[in-house]
Amino acid sequence: MVSTFAPQAAGDLNFLKKLNRSSILATVRRYPGATRADIASRTQLTKATVGGVVQALLERGWLREGALQPRGGGRPGRALYLDDSHHVLLGADIGVRGLRLVACTLGGEVLLQRYVTEPPTTPEATAVRLAAMLRILRDDPAIAGRHCLGLGVTVPGPVSPVDPILRLAPNLGWVDVAFLDVLREHLTDLDGIWLLDNEANAAAFGEFFFHDGIPPESIVYISAASGIGSGMVTGDNFPLVPRGGQGLVGEIGHTIVQPGGLYCHCGNRGCAETLVSGWAIRAALGIADDENLEAAIMARGEDTEVDVTLRRAGEALGILMLNLHHTLNPATLVLGGSLMRLGERLTQPALSYFEAHQNDLLRGTQRVPVKVIHDSTFTAARGAAAEVMAKAALEA
């Protein structure tokens, strides 16, 4: 996704209306059951503005009314909720080892999910496969009658901050791919927002946007899978994902943790990915690409070589967490990605390292909460759907 929030020329009334709509939707998302008066007080918008926008959102099926809420002394107001019955958001995650799709409501509830475990080959073949999966998904009775607000696609590599172009997915061998253009040729009848983002950015966005209740001030999501990356999101009604000049923000897999260490496929030596990534663990343990990593490791039981490799990978992950803590200082860290399925042999050394070192600067007075998502199969796809919702609220 290029941006969720693009500042426009001052005095653009149409844009102000869109900002108001986005703020009001964000308020209802965070405070389900809020009345028009509650929204006016939280957003600092006038009651007339809130009333007009809410009416339009009710008519479009984005909001629904609930019971009358008594107010101390004042007129009771109707509770407002996101309307989860009319629209659908689509998210697709092109992973190194398979394709994942979700269809979800405006509130982030997953209505359908699909996962095929065949590694992507070329962009063209992947687009054909994804288009076929999306057509089947849209015909499913669970969502067939819903209006589709759009599709978000995630990829395992940096995306240009200016155009929807995947710069490089080293684990797929894709370079400078305008994937949405390729996909559009095979999926001509899907209207609405189309966007492309890095999978860790999208996952971070989804964790923030669909957070139950009020999200933390900022979240960093670490995606530890075949490769390792991260995404950050911060802000309030308009969540922001810092992307950098070339879209490289969060590419922690290629930060150096071991100067002079093993060669990485990026060409440098001692990148974090040479210690903690699916490919590095496979290489260290002699597990073939077509084997299931989790099953192959389970089959080795209490093997010492496995223990050493996973402990070393876990500690490298802990170092990355600590480095992110000191460079970005997120209010919450989230660990996800398929390596979390390897369990405590990997996560415990990471969490212990982080726990032991995170407060050296703050004298042990504050702790950063860490959330581990053990099954993040659909986290990035759902995050891409969240990005569609955020963009639709501003543009639709």
Judged by the rule CB under 5 A, the positions of this chain that interact with Zn ion are 254, 264, 266, 268, 271
Backbone angles phi, psi at 231, to 5 degrees: -140, 150
Nearer to Zn ion, 248 or 266 (CB): 266
Q: How far is the CB of 342 from Zn ion (least distance, A)?
A: 21
Within 10 Å of residue 44's Cβ, how many Cβ atoms?
A: 7
Q: How far is the CB of 157 from Zn ion (least distance, A)?
A: 12
Nearer to Zn ion, 83 or 199 (CB): 199
Q: State the Cα–Cα distance between residues 62 and 58, nearest whole angstrom.
A: 6
Nearer to Zn ion, 159 or 264 (CB): 264
Q: How far is the CB of 263 from Zn ion (least distance, A)?
A: 9
CB 237 within 8 A of CB 225: no
**Quick one: how far is CA 52 from the chain centroid?**
32
Nearer to Zn ion, 127 or 280 (CB): 280
3-state secondary structure 23-69: HHHHHHHHCCCCCHHHHHHHHCCCHHHHHHHHHHHHHCCCEEEEEEE
Q: How far is the CB of 287 from Zn ion (least distance, A)?
A: 20
Terminal Cα-to-Cα distance of the chain (whole angstroms): 16
- Closest Cα to residue 255, out of 328, 310, 153? 328
Q: How far is the CB of 314 from Zn ion (least distance, A)?
A: 19
Antiparallel, parallel or unpaired: β 166-169 and 147-155: unpaired
Which residues touch 269 (CB under 8 Å, ≥6 apart)? 256, 258, 259, 260, 261, 262, 263
Which residues touch 120 (CB under 8 Å, ≥6 apart)? 94, 95, 96, 98, 99, 126, 129, 172
CB 65 within 8 A of CB 58: yes
Nearer to Zn ion, 252 or 384 (CB): 252
**Quick one: how far is CA 280 from the chain centroid?**
24
Nearer to Zn ion, 268 or 352 (CB): 268
Q: How far is the CB of 273 from Zn ion (least distance, A)?
A: 5
Nearer to Zn ion, 178 or 266 (CB): 266
Backbone angles phi, psi at 307, to 5 degrees: -55, -45
**Quick one: how far is CA 238 from the chain centroid?**
15
Q: How far is the CB of 270 from Zn ion (least distance, A)?
A: 8
Q: How far is the CB of 258 from Zn ion (least distance, A)?
A: 11
Within 10 Å of residue 240's Cβ, how many Cβ atoms?
A: 16
Nearer to Zn ion, 276 or 335 (CB): 276
